[in-house]
Amino acid sequence: MSKSLPLAGVRVVEFVHVVMGPTCGLILADLGAEVIKVEPLDGDHTRKLVASGAGFFPTYNRNKKSFAVDLKSPQGREAVLKLIASADVITENFRPGAMDKLGFGYAALKQVKSDLIYCSLKGFLPGPYDHRTGLDEVVQMMGGLAYMTGGRYGPLRAGASVNDVMGGMFGAIAILAALHQRQGTRKGQHVQSALFENNAFLMAQHMMEGLMTGKPVTPMPDRVRAWAIYDNFKTSDGEPVFVGVVTDTQWKIFCAAFGLADLLDDPALATNPQRVEARPRILPIVTAIFSKMSKQALMDKCESLGLPFAPIAKPEDLFEDPHLNASGGLTPVTLLNGEKTKVPVLPIEMDGARFGTRLDVPRIGEHTREVLAGLGYDAATIRQLIADKVMAVTD
């Protein structure tokens, strides 16, 4: 954005790793906050994750500054406390009690800065479970999401870190609310977001579904669809396409376009509940029609009719998605191995603009000198701190 970003002037210091905490900081950073990532001398361990964790660090750490410091050394602690005194927000997502042991818990830091907003991103909010180590997969299993996803296949975690990402989002929402409230009260506060409670929030619709229907909730793979046509269909070239027909108007359009006047005129199919009951009759007819069409022909026709449809994409397909590329939905970043690529940006637009990369994914200690200088350390002292391995830099 060419004008001032919404959170310009807000300084955030984060003590985070993996996904939940970094997501919270990413949102604030993309919106314009100065986010300083405090890392150990050898860097956030997330940088070293492999396999399904290999994408975490480059995804959630753009637009941040890396400050690499030994938190256990007196000089390192002194520098970090100076940094905290200059901050508006602290975020942390380490195991319960870890920040207190380091002397960086909320009770200690509010003595350093009374109007500090301190955000803890945890597995569980305060209660009987809050001593447990929380992971996305843990709360998906205990919170009903894995059951709803797997169904007859057995418990199955969702195909993305949904609780980690949404937990970070709710943390950012709480921070923004606290910053707004601080304008009137001049006081800081401790805010929290947690994986388990986030998962429960996701399950609320199914909890209410059971109450409203009076029946046990059916997992997604086993559910009765809410509409007669709401499925993946195989096309003539063997490629599946999802097609949905979800309103009475769409049903009329669909029947007229695909030569199904007999279905449209049948009074036994006049309402959506009737059509849902008649799925065993309707689906074989629709499946036969779609099986004679190519994937592209079916998608083109659905698009022209305004019917919901989707190709079945893989994550790697999104790099070349024409909509994401044309709409500013992808932003350039550099991976830890130096490779240039692009990653999805925040799924929001403000005043006609998206939020992209201002600072590339930081190298370990890339901004250590800059941060220290901003805190009033002179060049000679900075050199000595680096030489004494109190700080680390990457030039």
Active site residues: 164
- Which of 70, 107, 68 is closest to 90 using CA atoms? 107
3-state secondary structure the chain: CCCCCCCCCCEEEEECCCCHHHHHHHHHHHCCCEEEEEECCCCCHHHHCCHHHCCHHHHHCCCEEEEEECCCCHHHHHHHHHHHHCCCEEEECCCCCHHHHHCCCHHHHHHHCCCCEEEEEECCCCCCCCCCCCCHHHHHHHCCHHHHHHHHHCCCCCCCCHHHHHHHHHHHHHHHHHHHHHHHHCCCEEEEEEHHHHHHHHHHHHHHHHHHHCCCCCCHHHCCCCCCEEEEEECCCCCEEEEEECCHHHHHHHHHHCCCHHHHCCHHHCCHHHHHHCHHHHHHHHHHHHCCCCHHHHHHHHHHHCCCEEECCCHHHHHHCHHHHHCCCEEEEECCCCCEEEEECCCCCECCECCCCCCCCCCCCCCHHHHHHHCCCCHHHHHHHHHCCCEECCC
Write down the residue that tokens 């506060």 correspond to. 189
Write down the residue that tokens 């698009």 correspond to. 303
CA distance 86 to 110: 12
- Which CA distances in Å does 176 have to 86, 119, 268, 360? 18, 11, 52, 24
Contact 247, 254 (CB under 8 A): no
Does the CA dihedral 320-325-330-331 come out positive or negative?
A: positive
